Structure 1
Amino acid sequence: MPKYLVFMDLDNTLLGSDHKHISVRTKATIEKLQKHEVKFYISTGRMYELAKITQNRLNPEVGMITSNGAVFDGINGQEVTLLGKKTVEEAYKVTHDRKLPMMLFTPDTAYFTEKIPHFIAQNAGNFDEAFGYHEIENFEELQKVAGIITNGVVLSRGNMDELDQVRKELAATKLLRLSASGPDNIEMIPLKTDKGTAIKKVQLETGVDKDHTFVFGDGMNDLGMMKQAHYSVAMGNAIPEIKETANFVTDSNVNDGIATFLEAHFRELF
């Protein structure tokens, strides 16, 4: 079992400004610490199969918490929490009335309910043109997959007031947990589930406590995991709420904030 756990958000944390690549320095730091009983995890809102693209850029020893905690690597295999058929159907009704794009995910498949404009898609962490998506054209098609969905995201077309109203209507259902990875989206997560609940389960399974756990994040969907580690670290580019919650602040993602903090903490190894 490892002595330390490190959980890293992807967009604006581990990844650069292109939302795809890991710096040479950060990759080298991770690989060095892996040789010294430090277990690393990706911790992201992205679906499992899409997050594997980043895992493959590191190595298979990196564990994964995906779909904002709804899908993660446990010691006995992949653990999955579903959003719920009724929840998905209600979300469809709320977003369809306004024709807002909604993306829905299983661990290995992505669906969308409205054609996603390119300017939104190219900035969405859960979007990769090479991956492939399935369009849901009506409520009947939605019902066929609603029972296997783990999480989803509602994307704004630029009208923040409209997005805020959708957020209020979704919250009023009391069927799901809401978060966000940016100001222009709503992350839909199963009740009593987030990155933090998944991290807590990993800690219990590995026997590693909060005092030996590091988390790195920048956005609202990282708040839960900030409470699960003594070494809760906000990126230099994080939103104010994360910096206020975290115990530490490091440099930005484009300036190797993860590597900077870990190299300083484990300085005897560098």
Structure 2
Amino acid sequence: MEPYLVFSNIDGTLVLDHQIVTPLTKRVIRTLQKRDVIFYIATGRMYNLGRVISRQINDDVRIVASNGAVFENGHQMNKHYLGKKALKAAYEACLADPNLSAHFFITDTAYYTQEIPRFVACDAGNLLLNADIDNQLVTDLEMLLNLSDQITNGIIIGRGHPESLAAAKQRLMDQAVMSLSSSGPDNIEMIPTGIDKATAIRQIQMIHGIDADHTIVFGDGQNDLGMLQSAKYSVAMDNALPEVKAAAN
């Protein structure tokens, strides 16, 4: 069999309850790997939360994390960073509206403006998964800007306040200092300009010399749209957004 690349989103696609990989899924992935398939998880999660899932499967599973801002290349890690302008814009957007909370990520630490991200707290608090995540409060803009050479991506959460989220998204779009996406109706995913899961996939395809005709992707959310267009075989989950189902073949 010719080598293939397979990329799967995590939440709403690969796992149950945001954290459990079933025995059947593990067996299928191992079977594919024995047939020269290189299997990646491709997630908006920070790197260490991606590792929580990859470790459940096997040591040969590779990771695209932070919506493509971080990905594994053998023993190397490729990273892109949000940068000072994006961090300042996000911080000020949330400072202007108490209904919003911003969260910024490096591979093993979540920095937050109001509260620890619920999904980080749940995963990190589960001793079975051993997420190995630190959480730190952002005390001011200067602290955040001093982390600009480490922060790869972020998320703004506005549960129950869609109008606040929509206003913040428009404000960030107008400033054009980052790429924006969403993994759900209650958040804005913040990614370095020009980066998404698709850019990581294209780089990985070049590294391995495997083209789109030998690439398969699985996804369900808005932040999966780009990667669906990077493969000949694109699969939308039954629970996927309508636009994702329309994009998948």
TM superposition score category, shorter chain reference:
over 0.9
Q: Deviations over 1:151-174 (max 9, x none)?
A: 000001311011001000011111
CA distance in 2, matches of 1:177, 1:142: 19
Tell me what 2:201 maps to: 199
Q: Which runs of 5+ in 1 are unaligned?
A: 248-270
CA shift digits 1:110-129 (9 cap, x unpaired): 1111124xxx71xx378634
Gaps of 5+ in 2: 126-132
2-structure distance, mates of 1:210, 1:82? 26
Q: TM-score, normalised by structure 2?
A: 0.92
Contact 2:69 2:79 in 1 (8 A): yes
How many corresponding residue pairs? 241
3-state secondary structure, aligned to 1:42 = strand
Aligned match of 1:106: 106
Q: CA deviation at 1:74?
A: 1.8
Task: Please tell me whether the aligned partners of residues 81 and 148 of structure 2 are also in contact (alpha carbons under 8 angstroms).
Answer: no
1:60 aligns with 2:59: yes
2:129 corresponding residue in structure 1: none
**Preserved contact between residue 39 and residue 62 of structure 2 (Cα < 8 Å):** yes
Q: Where does 1:62-211 land on structure 2 (aligned, <5 Å)?
A: 62-75=61-74, 77-99=76-98, 100-116=100-116, 121=118, 124=119, 128-130=123-125, 131-211=133-213
Whole-Å separation in 1 of the counterparts to 2:134 and 2:169: 27
- SS at the partner of 2:11? helix
**Cα displacement (A) at 1:141:** 2.1
Q: Distance in 2 between matches of 1:141 and 1:125?
A: 21
User: Could you tell me how far apart the structure 2 residues matched to 1:239 and 1:166 are?
Assistant: 22
Give the Cα separation in 1 of the matches to 2:145 and 2:32: 46
1:50 is paired with a residue of what secondary structure? helix
Deviation at 1:137, TM superposition (A): 2.0
- Work out whether 1:237 is the aligned partner of 2:239: yes
1:91-123: CA deviation from partner (whole Å, max 9, x where unpaired):
10011111311110112221111124xxx71xx
Counterpart of 1:128, as a letter, is D
Matched residue SS, 1:241: helix
Partner of 1:254: none
SS at match of 2:240: coil
Cα shift readout 1:212-262 (whole Å, capped 9, x = no counterpart): 100000000000101100111001110000000001xxxxxxxxxxxxxxx
In 1, the alpha carbon distance for the partners of 2:107 and 2:73 equals: 14
Deviations 1:53-84 (A, max 9, x none): 11110111111100000000124610001111
Q: Name the % identity.
A: 43
Q: Is the 8 A contact 1:50 1:126 kept in 2?
A: no
RMSD: 1.7
Q: 1:126 to 1:186 in 2, by over 3 A?
A: farther
8 Å Cα contact 1:3-1:208 kept in structure 2:
yes
TM value normalised by structure 1? 0.85
2:108 touches 2:134 (CA, 8 Å); kept in 1? no
